[in-house]
Amino acid sequence: MLIKSKFPLYIQVVIGVAIGTALGVLFGTESYFLGLLKNETLGQLGMLVIRLLKTLATPLIFLAILDALISSDISFRHGGRLLAICSVNLMVAMLIGLTIMNVFTPGESWSGHIQEMSAHLQSEVAKTQIKTAPEGITLNPLKNVAGYIPENIIDPFVKNNVISVILLALFMGSALRYIKQNPFVGDNTGIDLLVKLITAGYQLILQMLAWVILAIPVAITGVVAQVVGKSGLSVFTLLAVFLITLLAGLLIHCLIYYPFMARWFGKMPVKRYLGQGMDAIVMAFSTNSSLATVPVTLSCLTEKMGVSERSARLSALIGTNLNNDGIILYEAMTAIFLAQAIGFNLDLTQQLLIVAASVMVGIGVSGIPEAGLIALPLVLSTIGLSEQLIVMIIPLIATVDWIIARCRSVVNVMSDMLVAILLDRLEEKPKILPHDNAVV
C-alpha cells in the first residue's frame, strides 16, 4: 500500500516537472549553485531512483502473479477476455493512426527537407541518442516467442526480461494452484510454507516500493532538468509537424477512445477514470516507463477505482505486455510519416505490413527502456529504407522522442487501467429480482 501524503503524487510530480524544466531552461548544461550542481548530475541521480523502481517492478510482477494464481480464481476464460479486449484496443489504435496518416498526409511537409533538418540537428545530443535494436529482437514472431523461453530460472531476473518472468510466474503459479487443489498424500507443510512466503514476499516488495515512490518527485526534477538542459525547447519548432502528428494519434486514442470505453462499456464515469487514475498517468509520463508505474497503477485500480484484485492484476501484470497500444501506434505512424517524407507511396497492403511489423516489435521489445525508438529501425526496414537513410533519420526523431516516449507510456498505462475496468465489468454477476426471477 502506498504511503499517504498531504498532496497527491501527481501534484508532487507536476511540481517536480515544472522545477526541472525551469532549471533546464535557465542553466542548460552549465554549472550553478556555486559550481556544485549541474543538470546532468541531477538527471543521473534521478535515474537511480527510476532504475530502482524498475528493479523492484520485476519481482513485484513475479510475486503478484503467483499470489493472484494461488488466491484468486483466474481461468482460461479470463485470459480469453483479456486477449479480446486488448485486440479491440489495438485495432482501434491502428484505425486512428492510419486515418490520420492517409487523410492529412503530414509526412509530405518534410519532402525534400530531411537532409537539411538532419544537418541542422547534428549536435552531440542527437548523436548520442542513436540506438539500434537489441540483439535477438526480430520481426519473426516465432523467434520472438522462442526468445522468451529462458535457458534457466535465474536468467529472466538477471536480464530483466519481463515477458519471461511472466511466463515463469504463470507456469509456477499454475503448478502451485494445482497442488493446492489436489494435495498429494503425505506432508504438505512445505507447500503451505511456500504459499505463505510468496504472500509475505509480495507484501514486502509493496512496502519497499512505497518508500521508493516517496523520492519520485525529486528524481523527476533532476531527469527533466537534464533532458531540457541538453535538448532545449527550440527543437520543437523544427519538428513541430512530426511532433503534433504523433501526439494527435496518441492523445485521441487515450483521451477520447479510452474514456468512451470506460464510460459506456465499463460503466465508470470519465471523471473517475481519469481523476482516480491520475497518479498512474502522471507517473507514466514522468518516468517514461509503464513497468516502473505498475505499483501505482495497481494502487489506483484497487484502492481508488474499486476494481477487483483479480482484474487489476490480470491487466496490469499479465496483460501489460499486450497493452502496448502506445508503442505500436508510434511505430506505425512514424514509419508511414517518413515514407511520405521521402516520397514512398504506400498502398493499403504495405501499410498493413507496417502495422504487423509494429505489433511484432511491440511484443518483442516490451519492457525495454526507450523501446519505441530502439525498435524503430526494424519497422523502417519493412518499407525499404536503406541503412544510411535510417541512420540519418533516427537522430531527427530522437530529438523529440523524449516527450513522445512519455506519451506512449501514458497510453500503455491508461490501456492497462481500461482493460482492468472492462474485465471487472464482464465479471459482474447479473442481479436476480426477488419476485419474478428476471435478470437485469
Share of the chain above pLDDT 70, in %: 78
Q: Which of 239-248, 310-319, 356-365, 405-414 has the lowest mean pLDDT?
A: 356-365
**Range 135-165 burial, b when 16+ CB lie within 10 A, else e:** eebebeeeebeebbebeeeeebbeebbbbbb
User: Is pLDDT at 367 greater than 60 in this prediction?
Assistant: no
Q: What percent of the chain has pLDDT over 90?
A: 26
Domains of the chain: 9-426 (1.10.3860.10)
DSSP state of 304: I
pLDDT in tens, 240-270: 899 999 999 999 999 999 999 999 999 999 9
Q: Which residues, other chains included, contact 211 with Cβ-Cβ below 8 Å and sequence gap of 6+?
A: 3
Q: How many whole angstroms separate alpha carbon 132 and alpha carbon 376?
A: 8
pLDDT higher at 38 or 239:
38
On whether the CB atoms of residues 325 and 411 are closer than 8 A, the answer is: yes
Q: Under a CB-based contact definition with an 8 Å cutoff, are residues 394 and 131 in contact?
A: yes
For the segment 51-70, what is each residue's pLDDT rounded down to a tens digit? 787 778 778 878 877 887 78
Which candidate, 7, 14, 18, 56, places its Cα nearest to that of 293?
56
Which residue, 244, 217, 62, 88, is CA-closest to 154? 62
Quick: pLDDT tens for 24-34: 889 988 998 88
Separation between Cα atoms, residue 227 and residue 224, nearest integer Å: 5
Residue 261: per-residue pLDDT? 97
Q: Are 363 and 325 in contact (CB under 8 A)?
A: no
pLDDT bracket for residue 118 (50, 70, 90): low
Q: For residue 363, which of 314, 422, 412 has the smallest C-alpha distance?
A: 412
Q: What is the pLDDT of residue 131?
A: 43
What is the pLDDT confidence band of residue 439, given thresholds at 50, 70 and 90?
very low
- Residues 282, 216 contacting (CB under 8 angstroms): no
List beta partners, residue 32.
Answer: 37
Output the pLDDT for position 130.
Answer: 40
Residue 389: the pLDDT is 75
Q: What is the pLDDT of residues 158-194, one digit of tens each?
A: 876 666 787 888 889 888 888 888 877 667 788 889 9
Average of per-residue pLDDT values in the chain: 80
pLDDT of residue 270: 96
Contacts of 87 (CB under 8 A, 6+ apart): none
Q: What is the pLDDT of residue 366?
A: 53
Q: Report the length, in residues, of the chain.
A: 440
**237 backbone dihedrals φ, ψ, rounded to 5°:** -65, -45
- One-letter amino acid of 370: E
